[in-house]
Amino acid sequence: MTIREKILIVEDEKSIAHFISTILTTNGYETILAKTGTEAMTMLSSHCPDLVILDLGLPDMDGIEVLRSLRGWSSLPVVVVSARTHENDKVEALDLGADDYLTKPFGTAELLARVRTDYVHQQQERYRAQVSYAEDALATAEKGNRVKLEKRISKLNDQLREASEFEEKVHHLADQMIEIDLDDGVKVNYAKFQDVLAKIK
């Protein structure tokens, strides 16, 4: 059974939340929904998502406060999706630890590219941590275990290299995408995105 990445969508506007959820589930992700900051904080600890899509204009608190609270105990990837276009808002969110900032309205292809890239980036960090741990263990390992550890380190480095190559390809692809307005639906460049993404997964 394939384990799907779980994404928490924190968005109080039903139409936008549905739009994002539909796009993600269609592309193989599992989604869970929170309409308020309070609900989001509860679901972050109870559902353990792999990534968060966070709106800033929530009814009970500013999304910035959710981000600030989350960064106090987790490095979970966060993609901010907001109607706020001022540079100061973007800088504040990124300074607090957001991994990406998308301004509404945004393109379907761009959303998928950002989500995938940020998730792969998280995987890279995990691989680096595992490589570091294995290298430390290797220094004091007995001969029999050294061979196993060396093979493990080699495999992790291969996975890290593949993740880095994937991230570069998705960034390059995203740069070529023309933004799709929320009301425009699926267009030719979205189909192209899907074709190319399937080849580089």
Q: Which helix (H) or strand (E) holds 173?
A: helix 143-176
**Which tens digits make up the pLDDT trace of 43-86?**
999 999 989 999 999 999 999 999 999 999 988 889 999 999 99
DSSP 59: S
The CA R_g of the chain, rounded to the nearest whole Å, is: 19
Quick check: 40 and 33 in contact, CB under 8 A?
A: no
Q: Residue 174 carries which side chain, given as an amino acid letter?
A: A
Is residue 147 helix, strand or coil?
helix
Is residue 52 helix, strand or coil?
strand
Quick check: 118 and 174 in contact, CB under 8 A?
A: no
Q: Residue 81 carries which side chain, given as an amino acid letter?
A: V
- In 7-107, alpha helices (H): 14-26, 37-47, 63-70, 87-95
Q: Which of 67, 66, 71, 100 is nearest to 174 (CA)?
A: 100
**Which tens digits make up the pLDDT trace of 83-136?**
999 999 999 999 999 989 999 988 888 898 888 877 666 665 655 555 565 566
pTM of the entire structure? 0.66
**Which tens digits make up the pLDDT trace of 142-165?**
666 666 666 766 776 676 676 666
Q: Indicate whether 196 pLDDT > 90.
A: no
Q: Cα 88 to chain center, whole Å?
A: 23
Give the C-alpha separation, 83 to 95, whole Å. Answer: 18
Quick check: 182 and 103 in contact, CB under 8 A?
A: no
Q: Residue 9 carries which side chain, given as an amino acid letter?
A: I
Is residue 22 helix, strand or coil?
helix
Give the C-alpha separation, 105 to 87, whole Å. Answer: 16
- What is the model's pLDDT at position 189? 45
